[in-house]
A and B are shown apart, each in its own frame.
Chain A
Amino acid sequence: MSDNKYSLEFLLEMYRKMVLIRQFEDRVKFLFLEGIMPGTIHQCQGQEASAVGVCMALNEDDVITSTHRPHGHAIAKGVSIQSMMDELFGKITGCCKGKGGSMHIGDLDKGMIPAVAIVGGNIPLATGAALAFKMRKEKRVAVSFMGDGATNEGAFHEAVNMGAIWNLPVLYVVENNLYGASTPVGMVVRTKNISDRAAIYDIPGVTVDGNDPIAVYEAAQEAVARARRGEGPTLLELMTYRITGHSRRDPALYQPKDEKQRAKENEPIGRFRKYLVGNDLTSADVLDKIDAEIEEEIEKVVVQAQKAADPKPEDALEDMFVESI
């Protein structure tokens, strides 16, 4: 991380959002382990910096699309954690009225198209949103978050090609956490970097330390500015690591112990704390206080979500079609 050029307020906001994501995910994990929350879940502990760094470079009316692992992206884009927790409990007050669950989190009012669990399925959606912005001459930008695995899907190549030929205002953000489920990325991608794949579409491809929220923010800012100028998409590869299982019951035995250990030392929140405190930008006390406030906030959200009403059977027939977004 370079010399600081940001206000303390900005840096603490970055920290707060990453901790909000981490604590939300951890709390949900324990609700699952206790058997209180049903279903399965894909969590993003260790990948918080990419969601936060990218979304802090966006405006409120820019849109994002996400994957089977969407909680971090949603929180970073400003979806309320109450509406997310309610959704995870299947309540009528959830952001998808309890019909979507973990893998379809989203809120159009906050600029998040509900997540798509079909790997690669959200990439054409973001491209389509960007096409709409361009046709309407709006200065808005669309972002597609995806995993490394998704870049082997046909949908990725078709969508990136289309974004490129039409210079669409879109960012293709690859969170490279080194695995697609249990498959190491090196086994299924021949190029050294996934960003190298940008070359065949003649768009910029950049690989960045995805556990450094400032580096992510700066790379995203540049790509967003380019998109807003009408110069087309960027493929942004963010190197990160998932410090939890692929899904709820995955003990992740395919992650070697030493690799896991190194990843824990390199996880974004601990690193950012060290950066902030080590450079005298703030104190550990200030950060601990933020942590404690968030813990309290999440506890309230969990209590409230459990009290919220369930949808009624007839609600299943509502919201089948939308006129426009």
Chain B
Amino acid sequence: MAKEIKVPDLGVNVETVVILKWMKEVGDEVKMGDVLCEVETDKAATDLESVAKGVLLKKLFDEGAEVEKDTVIAYVGEAGEAVPE
């Protein structure tokens, strides 16, 4: 099953992050811990690492988007697998 990649809890008082740059394209192979994108909190820029392995199936936000903590931003799973709309 495709696994949800969410914005993790990045610290006290961090409620939203801005997606600065996607480091993977849809279709790219992803290992656990690979950096999926760079995000910025109000304190610093940091890497968002994948907590799943497989292929990047879908990105739900563009660069520059502001996203709340716990929001699903991408799916990682087996190539060709369906992802929720």
Segment touching B, from A30-38, A80-88, A95-103: A30-38
A33 contacts across to B, CB distance below 8 A: 8, 49, 51
Q: How far is the CB of B72 from chain A (nearest CB, A)?
A: 12
Interchain CB contact under 8 A, B32 and A249: no
Interface readout for A245-264 with B: 1 if CB under 8 Å, 0 if not?
A: 00001010100000000000
Interface: B46 (CB within 8 A): yes
Of the four ranges (under 10, 10 to 19, 20 to 34, 35 or more), the interface on chain B belongs to: 10 to 19
Chain B, interface SS category: loop
Known contacts A251-B44, A253-B44; A34 and B8 CB within 8 A of each other: yes
Q: Are the CB atoms of A35 and B32 closer together than 8 Å?
A: no
Bound: A188/B2 CA distance, A: 48
Q: B84 in the interface, Cβ–Cβ < 8 Å?
A: no
Assess whether B33 is interfacial by the CB under 8 Å rule.
Answer: yes
Check A30 against B33 for contact (C-beta < 8 Å): yes
Total residues of chain A contacting the partner, CB 8 A: 10
Assess the B47–A251 pair: CB atoms within 8 A.
Answer: yes
Q: How distant is A103 from chain B, measured CB to nearest CB, in Å?
A: 18
Say yes or no: A35 contacts B6, CB within 8 Å.
Answer: yes
- The digit string for A26-66, where 1 denotes a CB below 8 A from any CB of B, is 10011011110000000000000000000000000000000
Closest Cβ of chain B: how far from A75's Cβ, in Å?
20
> Which residues from B are CB-within-8-Å of A29?
33
Decide if B9 is an interface residue (CB 8 Å cutoff). Answer: yes
Instruction: Contacts A251-B44, A253-B44 given; indicate if A35 touches B33 (C-beta within 8 A).
Output: no
**Is B80 engaged at the interface, CB distance under 8 Å to the other chain?**
no
Q: Assuming A35-B6, A251-B46, is B11 touching A26 (CB within 8 A)?
A: no
Given A26-B32, A249-B10, A249-B11, does the pair A34, B44 have CB atoms closer than 8 Å?
A: no
26 examples of A-B residue contacts, CB within 8 angstroms: A26-B32, A26-B33, A29-B33, A30-B32, A30-B33, A30-B51, A32-B8, A33-B8, A33-B49, A33-B51, A34-B6, A34-B8, A34-B51, A35-B6, A35-B8, A35-B9, A35-B70, A249-B9, A249-B10, A249-B11, A251-B44, A251-B45, A251-B46, A251-B47, A253-B44, A253-B45
